[in-house]
Chain A
Amino acid sequence: MRPATALAFGALGLGFVLLEWVLPRALNPYYLTILTRIGVAIVAAVSLQLVNGFTGQFSIGHAGFMAVGAYSSAALSVYLGSEWLAALGSALPSWLARALYFPIPLLAGGALAAVAGLLVGIPTLRLRGDYLAIATLGFGEIIRVVILNIDAVGGARGFALNAPSGVDLRFEDLGAIYAVVALSVGVIARLAYSSAGLAFRAVREDETAAESIGVATTRVKVLAFVVSSFFAGVAGALFAHSEGYIHTNSFSFVRSFEIMVFVVLGGLGSITGAVIAATVLTAAPEGLRGLGEFRMILYSLLLIVVMILRPQGLMGSRELSFAPLRARLRGRRAAA
């Protein structure tokens, strides 16, 4: 194993131990909830970054796809999953049963959101710029209102993840949640930073030129949109299962704007930036809670100041990369 790879695995392992065993014992539930929400925000922000930052298509209906993931995974867990989980639990130790079960609603929520993304993406991605933004905003709201009117998932009362059998359907395990976050970020980063993934950025930089060199731009845009919707669905499913109760108000256009702010403030085209912005801006309103009613004024001022000082976003389109570190380690080994 190369030293850099060993280092990366070491850091991941350490992070997992910290999140799984140390923090849950050291922090009270309030901080643990914030950490969970940060995880959800990171997945939502990084998935939107693929469409807005890398492919250059301005979509602002992301919360709609989160809602699809949240509600479909929650319905699956409540109506079917609780029985599967009970059956698994009778044969296996509880932690293993839960570890085997929870990927199912996450993947199902992602898959359904991806289908929704495909259906919305095919007509809207023919539009450009402002028109695309308005269309995605509209579709996001349509999804929310449709869910609001489905009584099987609670309608206006909201939907609690309570199984009739009393099986615990909540999933608050920080280590596992951040494993999902790391996996999602990793998949999107690897798609974006590859030769085939250059098609995304080629579309962003110049659609006409991209077509002229053989990029099927519509298909590339739809692909970005579907992958992005999938991970929005995963984020929604994580949210539903960690909160234990969901309401369509959590997925309004205000939430979509919030995710868009993570992406723009972090820097369009930077996955690192989206992660940082999602983390800071999810924690900031909580950290500012002591200021009472001035809290949201300060939060807004923070956004304005950053946009004045760094209009390209915190990171621009750069990434925090381990490549220089890796090169240095390799150099040292070669010298030895």
Chain B
Amino acid sequence: MPLLELAGLTLRFGGLSALAGLDWGVEDGAVAALIGPNGAGKTTAFNVVTGVYAPSQGRVLFAGREIGGQPPHRISALGIARTFQNIRLFRGLSVLENVVAALAAAERPGFAEVLRTPAWRGRERELSEHARELLARLALEHYADSRADALPYGEQRRLEIARALATRPKLLLLDEPAAGMNPAEKDALRALVGRLRSEFGLTIVLIDHDVGFVMGLCERITVLDHGEKIAEGEPEAVRSDRRVIEAYLGTAAEDVPA
């Protein structure tokens, strides 16, 4: 059974269909990729899965359970975490606080905070240790006390992943994690994604513009264009698919039906 399954998913904004009957499944434990040209609906698909938008039609199943239309914080609690295309950190908070905020996201401050009970102190220590451990696994421990917006770009991307991991997800959605990276950084990121999958027992879906980055990382690639799936399969096969080439490069003049 796939961990995540979209069935006939449609999202309309007025007359525009951002997603048009999308069927897509991600197997448990896989690293899958969603690629496609600008405006294909990749981020929109993430937004529907994470509850930012409610689907107009169709279903979103996570571990066999319908989750379409639930608010994002509840979907996060079910075990889906994400990063954003344009990094969205808590910029004014410290690196450590970014992770602690995610670890403690379901808690609300109350009397224990005001009275600073021994149990509360223990919990604070536990959260801080857990957060430092997560930071260490993403090689960010030296930055723990810096402000998040003071980090170099690549580290900000990693911090966003650390924050997502702090929600203890089963499924991690990475929205263009390689954007703005040079080839060396991309190689490091590719290694990181592979490592995270095995260390945290994750299923990972990542978005990218083209097949290049996800080659050798993903077993299965899905290509979107205009909100529809136009190809799916192993990277090599997808790369030479005629519809994929057309989506990226356009249709040759002689092929256009009159």
Contacts and interface: CB of A to CB of B under 8 A. Distances in A.
A194 B167 contact: no
A191 interface: yes
Interface residues of B, number: 41
B81 interface: yes
A262 B76 CA distance: 37
Contacts of B110: 196
A190 B113 contact: yes
Nearest to B92: A205
A250 interface: no
A128 B163 CA distance: 25
B23 to A, nearest CB: 25
A199 B114 CA distance: 16
A214 B73 contact: yes
Contacts of A217: 73
B225 interface: no
Nearest to B110: A196
Contacts of A94: none
A212 B82 CA distance: 7
B231 interface: no
B92 A211 contact: no
Contact of B108 (A190, A202, A219): A219
A283 to B, nearest CB: 30
Interface string B28-70: 0000000000000000000000111000000000000000000
Contact of B104 (A191, A198, A212, A219): A198
A216 B73 contact: yes
Interface in A187-220: 187, 190-192, 194-202, 204-206, 208-217, 219-220
A191 B113 contact: yes
Contacts of A186: 114
Contacts of B101: 195, 198-199, 201-202, 210, 213, 215
Nearest to A197: B109
Given A201-B90, A213-B101, A195 B84 contact: no
B212 to A, nearest CB: 27
A208 B103 CA distance: 17
Central interface residue in A198, A211, A317, by most chain B CB within 10 Å = A198
A196 B109 contact: yes
Contact of B88 (A196, A198, A209): A209
B197 to A, nearest CB: 20
A330 to B, nearest CB: 16
Which of B73, B100, B102: most chain A CB closer than 10 A? B73
Contacts of A192: 109
A204 B97 CA distance: 14
Interface in B106-148: 106-110, 113-114, 116, 120, 123-124, 127-128
Contact of A202 (B71, B76, B84, B93): B93
Nearest to B120: A194
A206 B156 CA distance: 15
Interface in A155-193: 186-187, 190-192
B76 A212 contact: yes
B100 A195 contact: yes
A195 B92 contact: no
B89 interface: yes
Given A199-B101, A205-B91, A214 B106 contact: yes
Contact of B81 (A196, A198, A213, A317): A213
Nearest to B90: A205
Contacts of A223: 108-109
Residue from B51, B82, B91, B102 whose CB has the most chain A CB atoms within 10 Å: B102
Contacts of B217: none
B84 A199 contact: no
Contact of A213 (B92, B113, B124, B163): B163
B105 interface: yes
A195 B116 contact: no
A206 B97 CA distance: 14
Contacts of A215: 73, 101, 105
Which 6 A/B pairs are nearest by Cβ-Cβ distance? A214-B105, A214-B76, A205-B90, A211-B72, A196-B107, A209-B88
29 contacts: A186-B114, A190-B114, A194-B109, A194-B124, A195-B101, A195-B107, A196-B113, A198-B93, A198-B100, A198-B101, A199-B101, A199-B105, A199-B108, A201-B90, A201-B97, A205-B90, A205-B92, A208-B72, A209-B89, A210-B101, A211-B51, A211-B52, A211-B73, A212-B50, A212-B72, A212-B73, A212-B82, A213-B101, A216-B73
Interface of A: 186-187, 190-192, 194-202, 204-206, 208-217, 219-220, 223, 269, 317
Interface of B: 50-52, 71-73, 76-77, 81-82, 84, 88-93, 97, 100-110, 113-114, 116, 120, 123-124, 127-128, 163-164, 166-167
Given A191-B114, A213-B105, A216-B71, 15 more contacts: A190-B113, A196-B108, A196-B109, A196-B110, A197-B113, A199-B104, A201-B93, A202-B93, A206-B91, A212-B84, A213-B76, A214-B167, A215-B73, A223-B108, A223-B109
